Chains A and B, each alone.
Chain A
């Protein structure tokens, strides 16, 4: 069974889920000492109400002194408003979702330095309400979510590099096994090489050979490495992983043509590794990459289209999910400061997908997962699709949030 959800506290009527958010980093706490914090946090009430011209957000005070501020957010009767954010410029300092009529009020506490802020109520008649904090401005943040997210992106770049390096080694091993003529060994090497690609495929999509025409598949490395029968471009012909797969698993034969496919694969993966060297990422690239990997699961793996000869789709599925989870984990420390509820939701949904994948683990099977046969697809694809889409929806708004941190 799954663990109880975080939101259980909502049920008690008086539940005040106080979330302390280091909005401006540790240094900001000092700036706020002189006001507010002496008698506890300054209280600000934000209430969504239905007005004559539409739904509006009302704030009981729009100016407070620097220091800890507790916002209490309630939705009296405004069905068009479902979330409230505190903005500093374009940056989201804190936010609350599920602010809907009938649910208990929620609170969040942030330590604010002096300056101009806005309370943002999407879909309200007046969406942004100016909010002023008097007193010392917070020093330029040395930590905070932006820094944490940037650090995460750097860590993630290292992860991508590791996978690309592994891919080079993996396809060389595949080529060696194909050369040896040992079909079983070649199949094993194929299964070992695939995950490297699947973990990072959304990050290396669209990479071209130097000076290649982006409208031609002949210079598109993603195409040359991972094209499938369904995307076969007659002008370029078969190449890449799936050409090797077809020979090893479909025809169950190694021919000179198979050897050539494998050699070309090594060449193209090596070229990809060259292009990928020194890749840098922004936080939103990670978020978009994670979402992209889940799209790959939905469109290629659950449909059984990716590994039509080897039936290693669940292995690829697991690779996509691992890559997405790595991206999320890299963002997590920064995201935790902006929106801990979202972190908990995404984390829960990754757990659910991973638990689903557990069901298919089979150490005796090639690649470690049960082959994704037509029968298994028929019985299990709906459940897979549901769990993956639930995760995809939770990840969908992430890029927006981390890009503005």
Chain B
């Protein structure tokens, strides 16, 4: 009948569509190597498989350009069976969406019928959409009889130094993250999944991320809204992912990961009025090249012992120094953040920041890093952690199965 495949519409284009802002980004700055644009080219026809039976997409996947994050809370009185049906329906729908297919009829045949899919992504390519599901600690309380299924390390994050959390932007029983190279594709996914959950889950809080603020394998390091490259030393290698990211000692959750989300508001107006030399001291890197202050080019290893006139070249309270693995006993987490804006705040200032997204196989890794950063990071003068949540991202299902199925075995 009215089966329209977004993927099919673009099938003739092969892999040659190199669209998006990437080209302009590389060319305009004329920094780094000439291949920046090519490496960051967007192929809107690309799609990822949902049923890998391995890790969920949207974690180690090279970050797409846009990402929408939304939390959900179970409605009072719903049962474990309602949760089970929702996870199964969400899984099937996510498989469709990632393949560039609608989640049902847009224009139903029968009169009086409402559309199953809302339709706004119909003529759009898959755009590398990934939808990632997270389960929050609250799901394992006494409401659904799932306490015995709780992943070993899943607990609410403790209060951390410099936390300025706001009541409306913390926690959540469930989380979805829809990332794509086309923001409309990402929003459509979240919208239709939220709609599917009506009556079983209530929406919690949401952040609409634009512009990736982390690099994945093969991508050049993007800039956050402070204008700096952040995450130059992100995890890329499979061996590092295995060591630091994927859960391997908790059978039901093996291949999954713990997922930290922090909404970090940046006082960008104040930041912009700070002189760039000071900004570089705050970050510990140069602004244009992104080189550590001890080095010359971006990927030079920072030398934290280097001194000039008796003082460290990279200030110990700079962001780079505090976050570096060598200063944290080798602790690393996979970062996959996005820039966001909420418009203009009640003080008439531009309201924007970083949707920090981190993945690790032990939440203690994040807690350790953030404790250090929250205590003495010079950046704290310009940022506020206003939102926070921890989830477990279960492993991806094989065909014929669904996300979180281990909860109901």
Contact = CB atoms under 8 A, between A and B. Distances in A.
B96 A80 contact: yes
Nearest to A77: B400
Contact of B199 (A77, A101, A393): A393
Interface string A7-26: 11111000000000000000
Given A79-B93, A102-B91, A400 B77 contact: no
B82 A5 contact: yes
A80 B79 contact: no
A206 interface: no
Interface in B47-62: 50-51
A3 B198 CA distance: 18
Nearest to A395: B114
Of the candidates A7, A54, A101, A404, the one having the most CB atoms from chain B within 10 angstroms of its own CB is A101
A79 B91 contact: yes
A391 B111 CA distance: 21
Contacts of A386: 75, 202-203
A345 B75 CA distance: 14
Interface string A345-374: 100110010000000000000000000000
A398 to B, nearest CB: 8
B85 A98 contact: yes
B89 A1 contact: no
Contact of B79 (A8, A100, A394): A8
Contacts of B81: 5, 7-11
B1 interface: yes
A1 B77 contact: yes
Contacts of B401: 101-102
B112 A399 contact: yes
Interface residues of A, number: 47
B92 A100 contact: yes
A399 B113 CA distance: 7
Contact of A352 (B77, B84, B110, B114): B77
Interface string B98-127: 000100110010111110100000000000
Given A79-B95, A386-B202, A394-B199, A284 B79 contact: no
Query: How many B residues touch the partner, as a band?
Result: 35 or more
A4 interface: yes
Of the candidates B112, B114, B195, the one having the most CB atoms from chain A within 10 angstroms of its own CB is B112
B76 interface: yes
A329 interface: no
A3 B77 contact: yes
A103 B88 contact: yes
B75 A101 contact: no
Nearest to A396: B114
A270 interface: no
Of the candidates A103, A349, A399, the one having the most CB atoms from chain B within 10 angstroms of its own CB is A103
B387 to A, nearest CB: 17
Contact of B104 (A2, A11, A123, A345): A123
B296 interface: no
Closest 3 CB pairs of A and B: A2-B77, A390-B199, A399-B112
Interface of B: 1, 3, 50-51, 75-82, 84-85, 88-89, 91-93, 95-96, 101, 104-105, 108, 110-114, 116, 195, 198-199, 202-203, 397, 399-402, 405, 408
